[in-house]
Amino acid sequence: MPSLRQRHTERTRDAIVAAAFDLFAAKGFAETTIDEIAERADIAPRTFFRYFPAKEAVLFHNTDDQVEAVAARLRARPADESPYESLLAVLRAVAAEITHGDKREMMLAKFAADNDRLFEHHRAVVMCNFEESAASVLKERAGEQADELAIEAAVAAVLATFGTAMRSWLRAGAKGDFEQVLERCVAAAQGAFQVASSPTPR
């Protein structure tokens, strides 16, 4: 059972997130200040920074849970799949869920389409954590004989493709089927690799 301190921490974090999203919905992301979020959550502004390093971080507050969920899915994939196949299968499942996302995810999409800093935060923090976690799981699954460099390269390539699809979809207002955008990007990446690996005509 969580301690009293842990429960207080969780309640405060939840209050900050709820206050922030209420204000984002009413005023917009860029127009909302940290002081306003703190006032709505009934905390001091300095307390906000004990929980979140920046306003952008509030929008991605559940990233750790999402990364762990993806890691769990990777661990459950068939052992005879290549790292590429396993990761791509999991990301396709994630894409299906994103297409039918909840209200907050749609709000995030709207803000991201209008704010490059959100893309920068997503790439620098969220996708970095995602990549490290996925590579770690796939190395662990491969065992002592794992080709760690090959796994890291496969993860980086697949996640770069996923990130491109995500940014394109968000900039378009998160309209339509994200799965289709992902598949277009995957096909383009595979085609580029095939061209690059083809013998040069003499």
**180-201 pLDDT tens trace:** 999 999 999 888 766 644 555 5
Report the 10 Å Cβ neighbour count for 198. Answer: 8
pLDDT of residue 15: 95
Report the 10 Å Cβ neighbour count for 101. Answer: 14
Domain range 62-197, its CATH number among 1.10.357.10, 1.10.260.40, 3.40.50.1110, 2.60.40.420: 1.10.357.10
Average pLDDT over residues 74-80: 90
Q: Report the CATH number of the 4-54 domain.
A: 1.10.10.60
Q: Where are the beta strands (DSSP E) in the chain?
A: none
Alpha carbon distance 44, 23 (integer Å): 17
> Which of the two residues, 47 and 69, has the higher pLDDT score?
47
> Domain boundaries in the chain?
4-54, 62-197
pLDDT of residue 172: 79
Alpha carbon distance 11, 191 (integer Å): 49
Structure-token pair, residue 171: 């900039």
Lowest mean pLDDT among 18-27, 93-102, 112-121: 112-121
Q: For the chain, give the percent of residues with pLDDT over 90.
A: 29
Average pLDDT over residues 141-155: 85
Same topology for domains 4-54 and 62-197, yes or no?
no
Confidence of residue 114 (pLDDT cuts 50, 70, 90): low
Report the 10 Å Cβ neighbour count for 191. Answer: 10
**122-139 pLDDT tens trace:** 677 778 888 899 999 988
pLDDT of residue 48: 96
DSSP state, residue 79: T
